[in-house]
Amino acid sequence: AGSLLSVADLSVEDVSAILSVASQLERRPTAERARLLAGRRIALLFYESSTRTRTSFELAAKSLGATTTLVSDKSSSIEKGESLKDTGLTLRALGAECIILRHPSSGAPFVLARETGVPVLNAGDGMHEHPSQALLDVRTMLMRLPGRDASTATAKSLDGVTVVITGDILHSRVARSNALLLPRLGAKVLLCGPEPLLPEVALHLGAGVEIVRDFDAALRRAQVVMMLRIQKERLAGLELDLANYIERYQLNGERLAARAPDALVMHPGPMIRGLEISGDVADGPNSAIELQVSNGLSVRSALLLRALYTGGFESVTV
């Protein structure tokens, strides 16, 4: 209970409750917020590098009054060969009541939750999922798209919205979580990229998800365009001509102005300026990239309360 391992585990009502609590928390006075998890212990267990997810979970936990500890693979007994299970049991023995896990293996958070019995929040597992990212992406869309309400979610919240997700779909846990979540809120998702990064046969497309190879054609249909980094660290064995990729798939000012001048531009980060996105677009008026980052605080605060708040998650909202 309280874990978040996959967006598939969340009902639309769960998503609504998380967005509602995130909105309420932003309006609460700092001192009041800091009492909600006072004295609770949260462990951040990171086997891969992270800036946004790690920092926002840590700041969110501290803003709720919790104590945090960071264990990373590079400075812990993981380097000596200690297993995920034993690391988790050690954290539990030290009083960790919730573990936030980033791991290169898909499914690792499920193993950790099963072996420790401690609530686990998936902070990105291999090429599988990044559920808190998809939730903060939804909040960002609802805040920036006209006529939407970011404090709730229904099966129609994103009706009429086409989201183009472009780039290294194959290796992207962000794409997977968004492709699972957005159609359940009414959005259409177009996945866009060249065959090596978006192999047709390897995808299990759900309802509301489509592959469009031509980025310019996809952009003409977009209300939101989400760009993804080429994950060079996971590309082993794949042939990719970067100059050709930039020509066909980079989101630059000229392309955006010609195909989707009003589209909301998103990127989960880290972004490589000059590769998948140009600097003028990243910093331009369409960009919601910084809002995505700051929404990490409120959404991850809500997820921590969902995992640990003893007064009942729903009652946080009253």
Q: Kindly report the backbone phi and psi dihedral angles of residue 314, in degrees, each rounded to the nearest multiple of 5, phi listed first.
A: -60, -35
Kindly state whether residue 63 participates in binding ligand CP, applying the rule CB under 6 A: no
Helix ranges (H only) for the chain are 12-27, 30-33, 52-63, 84-93, 108-116, 131-144, 173-181, 215-220, 242-249, 253-259, 279-282, 289-308
**Spatial distance between the Cα atoms of 86 and 96, rounded to a whole number of angstroms:** 14
Which span sits near ligand CP by CB under 6 A: 145-153, 198-206, 252-260, 265-273?
265-273
102 carries a ligand binding annotation:
yes
In whole angstroms, the minimum distance from the beta carbon of 122 to ligand CP comes to 11
The answer on whether 104 is annotated among ligand-binding residues is no
Task: Compute the least distance from the CB of residue 8 to ligand CP, in Å.
Answer: 19
- Binding window for ligand CP (CB under 6 A); candidates: 18-26, 52-60, 92-100, 176-184: 52-60
Q: How far is the CB of 151 from ligand CP (least distance, A)?
A: 23
Q: Does 53 bind ligand CP (CB under 6 A)?
A: yes
**By three-state DSSP, how is residue 104 classified?**
coil
The neighbouring-strand residues paired with 98 are: 42
Q: Does 68 bind ligand CP (CB under 6 A)?
A: no
Token pair belonging to 29: 């006075």
Residue 204 assigned as binding residue: no
Q: How far is CA 159 from CA 12, 15, 61, 62, 141, in A?
A: 14, 16, 33, 36, 12
Candidates 41, 52, 148, 213: give the one binding ligand CP (CB under 6 A): 52
DSSP letters for 247-286: HHH-B-HHHHHHH-TTPEEE--S---BTTTB-HHHHTSTT
> Any contact of residue 50 with ligand CP (CB under 6 A)?
yes
- Are 52 and 58 within 8 A, CB to CB? no
Number of residues that bind ligand CP (CB under 6 A): 11
Residue number with CB closer to ligand CP (16 or 55): 55
24 annotated as a binding-site residue: no
Q: Compare residues 53 and 223 and give the one whose CB is closer to ligand CP.
A: 53
Range 105-134, binding ligand CP (CB under 6 A): 124, 130, 133
For ligand CP, the binding residue among 8, 35, 38, 51 (CB under 6 A) is 51
Between CA 204 and CA 60, with CA 48 as vertex, the angle to 5 degrees is 95
Provide the pairing of β-strand 67-72 with 41-46: parallel
290 touches ligand CP (CB under 6 A): no
**Which residue lies nearer to ligand CP by CB, 227 or 316?**
227
Per the annotation, does 133 bind a ligand? yes
Shortest distance in whole angstroms from residue 53 CB to ligand CP: 3
Q: Residue 199: which residues within 8 A CB-CB, separation 6 or more? A: 170
Site string for ligand CP, 266-285 (x = CB under 6 A): --xxx---------------
Query: Strand 162-166 vs strand 188-192: parallel, antiparallel, or unpaired?
Result: parallel
Residues annotated as binding site for carbamoyl phosphate?
52-53, 102, 130, 133, 269-270
Instruction: Give the residue ranges of the annotated binding site for L-aspartate.
Output: 80, 173, 229
Chain residues in the site for ligand CP (CB under 6 A): 50-54, 124, 130, 133, 268-270
